[in-house]
Amino acid sequence: MPKIKYIEHNGKEHEVDVPAGWSVMEGAVKNLIPGIDADCGGACACATCHVYVDPAWTDKMPPKQDMEETMLDFAQELEPTSRLSCQIKVTPELEGLVVRMPKSQH
């Protein structure tokens, strides 16, 4: 089971095992990690699961689909590494992935 590290806007880290097949968002919600609200439940219909993917991982991420690009327009504090965590499926290759939550979602 891949370990994913979630870092809150204040620097507090949470490293948890997330089953392959889940999304990075599901891993946060089911482990009660603050900063990922997931108001739409993972339907890519909001931006409350916005995260910053650690730059070391950006090339290993699946490309953004049009719907994710559209929903990111509603997120605050966008950065080049911004993604919706509901759109990142966990695979064994994502072992050690690091994501940070924006301050606007605390």
pTM: 0.94
pLDDT of the residue at 104: 79
Q: Where are the domains of the chain?
A: 3-105
Give how far Cα 29 sits from Cα of 5, 16, 59, 69, 79, Å: 13, 11, 25, 22, 23
Of 54, 46, 42, 48, which is closest to residue 86 (Cα–Cα)? 42
Give the whole-angstrom CA distance, residue 45 versus residue 94.
24
- The fold for domain 3-105 equals Ubiquitin-like (UB roll) (3.10.20)
The 10s digit of each residue's pLDDT in 6-37 is 999 999 999 999 999 999 999 999 999 999 99
